[in-house]
Each structure stands twice: as structure tokens, then as C-alpha cells.
């Protein structure tokens, strides 16, 4: 089999396996970029939970998304909450280059990341 044919088959496999809504839209969540330093994530997290209006109650102590207790995990939850609530009003998943979108649901254990179509 040629390399080109293998690449085409792999690309088709990816398209088939990525969750897709019936109207053709991909499900996307907003998460912290792994390359962003914690101090930058913390500033963006503070903004998202403050002026940005994200509901950050689930990343508080004794709440379902408190663990893992890292700036990156808390920022991911806050970024996604903000993005899902406001994306239809033009909000982006940018946060001064501290965030990125993913098609992989970042939910874990009892911590569910919201997705709003």
C-alpha cells in the first residue's frame, strides 16, 4: 500500500471517529493550553471567574471539579464554562493565547465539562 493511500485512510478514520452533532457541527470544549505558564493561566482564570462571568463554583474546595487541584485544571474548567455560556454571543476560546479548543471531552470522574450545542 502506498504512503498516500495510508494517509488518506488515516484521515478518514479520524473524521469518522470524532464526535459530530447531527447538524454537522463538531463538539468542542475550551481548555488551558499545556504550553502556557501557570502565572498566565492564573491571570486568565481570575478574569474568567470574575469579570468574565464563568461559574467557578464547581472548582471550589469539596466540589466535583476541585481535584486535581492545579491551576491548569481549574483554568480549563473556568475557560470552558465561559466559552460554552457565551460562544453564541461571539466569545472565543482565546484568553490571551492561554487556551485552545479540543474535540475530546475533558470531563473526568465526577467533574463534567459542559457542552452547549
Termini Cα distance of the chain: 40
Residues 83-92 have pLDDT tens digits of: 999 999 999 9
Q: What is the structure's pLDDT at 11?
A: 54
The angle subtended at Cα 116 by Cα 111 and Cα 117, nearest 5°, is 140
Give pTM, 2 decimals: 0.79
* Alpha-carbon dihedral sign for residues 26, 103, 100, 61: positive
User: If DSSP codes are grouped into helix, strand and coil, which group holds residue 14?
Assistant: helix
Q: What is the structure's pLDDT at 26?
A: 86
Amino acid at each position: 500500500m502506498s504512503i498516500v493511500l495510508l494517509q488518506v485512510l488515516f484521515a478518514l478514520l479520524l473524521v469518522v471517529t470524532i464526535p459530530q452533532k447531527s447538524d454537522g457541527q463538531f463538539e468542542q470544549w475550551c481548555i488551558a493550553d499545556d504550553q502556557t505558564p501557570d502565572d498566565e493561566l492564573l491571570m486568565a482564570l481570575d478574569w474568567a471567574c470574575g469579570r468574565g462571568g464563568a461559574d467557578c463554583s464547581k472548582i471550589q474546595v469539596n466540589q466535583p471539579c476541585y481535584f486535581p487541584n492545579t491551576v491548569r485544571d481549574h483554568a480549563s474548567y473556568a475557560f470552558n464554562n465561559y466559552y460554552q455560556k457565551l460562544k453564541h454571543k461571539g466569545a472565543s476560546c482565546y484568553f490571551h493565547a492561554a487556551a485552545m479548543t479540543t474535540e475530546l471531552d475533558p470531563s473526568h470522574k465526577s467533574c463534567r465539562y459542559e457542552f452547549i450545542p
